[in-house]
Structure 1
């Protein structure tokens, strides 16, 4: 069974989602099913069908999260330090062709969010950055070709 790296913050978010699904969403859908049953003939009851479909989606998501949580390896990024890029590091890089500067935090696959600058450890750019130091040039193989970056800064929260 493969371990899935995740930050403490990411783990807490997944845990909160699982609790919400079990304690709130599951109860709400059960009530909706009971209410729809009260409307009579189930064979032509769209409310019942929708509630049963929603219940299936909730139960599938609960099973998925429980499976993932069993495989999570929680990494306390507050204790990380050093001069190399590792899981949990925040890295400032410059595109050597365009001069564009971006900052990314390397996180687990379940917490990546490019709008926040969080990239998955399994993404091509993170895989290229891991193990490198400030000043190193990195080549990332992207869908539209190779992109060259220079690492400007590495920090840890």
Structure 2
């Protein structure tokens, strides 16, 4: 069974652009490389042909995976999201109870995660631990070096 993934409009647009790039640019280039290698003679001893065929197979696999991801992608209507608890696309302000440090994360789909810009995946340990929590709740999150406790200070939408 396929997994449904939720995306922002920006994330869905990036997926579609990547798929179009693979279909419209990379696929014809792979076919051209195979044709050029085929023209060089005996296919049984043609390493260039074998490499081109393998590259085409990997490209087709990547295209198929992206098509499946897009088929199971759902656009999130941000106006319909509840701000009383942590959900996908929530921006959450947290305080680490051990050291008092405050941080802010936005929970996004796995493919949109970017820690540098404060976007973490809902499937990450912290993302999973925060889902469903409300302001004032404490989230206990198991990480490889123990358990972190975060207090939810604020939940907003961008």
Using the TM superposition, give the Cα deviation of residue 45 of structure 1 relative to its aligned residue in structure 2, in angstroms.
Answer: 2.3
Match of 2:27 in 1: 26
Secondary structure of 1:97's partner? coil
C-alpha distance in structure 1 between counterparts of 2:68 and 2:96, whole Å: 38
Name stretches of at least 5 consecutive residues in structure 1 with no aligned partner.
none
The C-alpha deviation readout for 1:63-92, integer Å capped at 9, x for no partner, is 111112111121033554523211111112
Using the TM superposition, give the Cα deviation of residue 33 of structure 1 relative to its aligned residue in structure 2, in angstroms.
Answer: 1.0
Using the TM superposition, give the Cα deviation of residue 134 of structure 1 relative to its aligned residue in structure 2, in angstroms.
Answer: 2.6
Using the TM superposition, give the Cα deviation of residue 103 of structure 1 relative to its aligned residue in structure 2, in angstroms.
Answer: 2.1
CA 1:100 to 1:50, structure 2 compared with 1: closer, same or farther past 3 Å?
A: farther
Using the TM superposition, give the Cα deviation of residue 43 of structure 1 relative to its aligned residue in structure 2, in angstroms.
Answer: 2.5
C-alpha distance in structure 1 between counterparts of 2:117 and 2:41, whole Å: 48
TM-score normalized by the length of structure 1: 0.88
Match of 1:84 in 2: 85
User: Is the 8 Å Cα contact of residues 120 and 126 (structure 1) preserved in structure 2?
Assistant: yes
Match of 2:71 in 1: 70
C-alpha distance in structure 2 between counterparts of 1:43 and 1:94, whole Å: 64
C-alpha distance in structure 1 between counterparts of 2:146 and 2:91, whole Å: 24
- Computed over aligned residues only, the root mean square deviation of the Cα atoms, in angstroms, reads 1.9
Secondary structure of 1:110's partner? helix
Is 1:8 the counterpart of 2:9 in the alignment? yes
Match of 2:124 in 1: 123
C-alpha distance in structure 2 between counterparts of 1:103 and 1:30, whole Å: 47
Match of 1:17 in 2: 18
The C-alpha deviation readout for 1:107-150, integer Å capped at 9, x for no partner, is 12232233332222222212221222233221111122110111
Is 1:114 the counterpart of 2:121 in the alignment? no
Match of 2:46 in 1: 45
